[in-house]
Amino acid sequence: MNSAATAASEWYRPTSLADALAIRASARGAVVAIAGCTDLMVGWNAGSRRLPSVLDLSALPELGAIEVGPDAVTIGAAVCCARIAAHPAIAGRLPMLASSARQTGSIAIQNRATLGGNIMNASPAADNPPVLLAFGARVTLASVRGSRTLDYAAFHTGYKRTLAEPDELLVSVTVPYPAPGASSHYRKVGTRRAQAISKVALAALIETTDRAEDGTRRVRDARFGFASAGPVPLTAPSLSAALRDSPLPAIDRLLVERALASDLSPIDDIRSTAAYRRQVAVNLVMAALAEASQVP
């Protein structure tokens, strides 16, 4: 393991997960894990406090791989958004994830920003979490006590709070492939088309039945993930329940609006208002349903 003294702190750069977890355990939360550092650097630049000691995750092979399996892709926590967006299996089987990775800041940011950092920073406005929710992803955490895999849907417990313990690291994220023919859709609404944190964003994964004799399709299963619509990245269980088995042409705005009323809890803040966010969320769902009805 490498440790280099800096002016204000220790810089640990282990080359195995076991060493990293040992440092994490012995430091008892006093050493900050850093991946791409794009979130941490902003906070450190803004403050005048002394830089903490850091545990640099960039040399851990266990966190740097993308493994393509028969049912899912497993992405190491330290894989950056640029690699995710460019990966052929992700672009082919999970295009919505390639899309959210491509919309995570600028190209320069995407070259550093990791999927693990995006999750562990636990911002309700982050781009990739809604997509992971819609796909039903699982996250694997490890500590010296062992490893555990959790449904990502349960991971965010409150604003900037997660189920991760202070001695744990996020190791990987497993994203199952959707059913063949499912329609997926990631849309982010921000102040500009690029380089903007979302006012609201939607990931939608909609499975439909074959066309009936009258040409209509029904929703077999619809799963959603929202950003900037509550204190954590949100699913929309009432909306999913309301849409199940509905014929696509019969789904109107009012039904979506009513279901989302209890699923979302947006706030007024510097980027937008709660009322605008609610309206845009409905617009985005209607657009996703329209797209699903176009699937051949």
Ligand X SMILES: Cc1cc2nc3c(=O)[nH]c(=O)nc-3n(C[C@H](O)[C@H](O)[C@H](O)COP(=O)(O)OP(=O)(O)OC[C@H]3O[C@@H](n4cnc5c(N)ncnc54)[C@H](O)[C@@H]3O)c2cc1C
Which positions touch ligand X (CB under 6 A)? 32-40, 42, 57, 77, 104-105, 109, 112-114, 116-118, 120-121, 126-127, 169-170, 197
- Residue number closest to ligand X, CB atom: 117
CB of 97 to ligand X, least distance (A): 13
CB of 280 to ligand X, least distance (A): 17
CB of 68 to ligand X, least distance (A): 21
**Cα(279)–Cα(277) distance, rounded to whole angstroms?**
5
Going by C-alpha positions, the residue among 84, 76, 83, 67 that lies closest to residue 171 is: 76
For ligand X, the closer of residues 46 and 254 by Cβ is: 46
For ligand X, the closer of residues 118 and 235 by Cβ is: 118
For ligand X, the closer of residues 113 and 248 by Cβ is: 113
Cβ 205 vs Cβ 222: under 8 Å: yes
CB of 61 to ligand X, least distance (A): 13
- The dihedrals phi and psi of 134, each to the nearest 5 degrees, come to -65, -35
For ligand X, the closer of residues 104 and 183 by Cβ is: 104
For ligand X, the closer of residues 171 and 206 by Cβ is: 171
CB of 135 to ligand X, least distance (A): 16
**Cα(202)–Cα(184) distance, rounded to whole angstroms?**
10
CB of 131 to ligand X, least distance (A): 11
Tally of CA atoms within 13 A in the half-sphere of 272 that contains its CB: 24
**Cα(151)–Cα(174) distance, rounded to whole angstroms?**
10
Cβ 225 vs Cβ 203: under 8 Å: yes
**Cα(112)–Cα(58) distance, rounded to whole angstroms?**
10
Other C-beta atoms within 10 Å of 202: how many?
27
For ligand X, the closer of residues 123 and 183 by Cβ is: 123
Going by C-alpha positions, the residue among 137, 64, 49, 149 that lies closest to residue 100 is: 137
CB of 14 to ligand X, least distance (A): 13
Q: Report the chain's terminal Cα–Cα distance, integer Å.
A: 54
For ligand X, the closer of residues 117 and 242 by Cβ is: 117
DSSP one-letter string for 136-178 = T-EEEEEETTEEEEEEGGGTEEETTEES--TT-EEEEEEEEPP
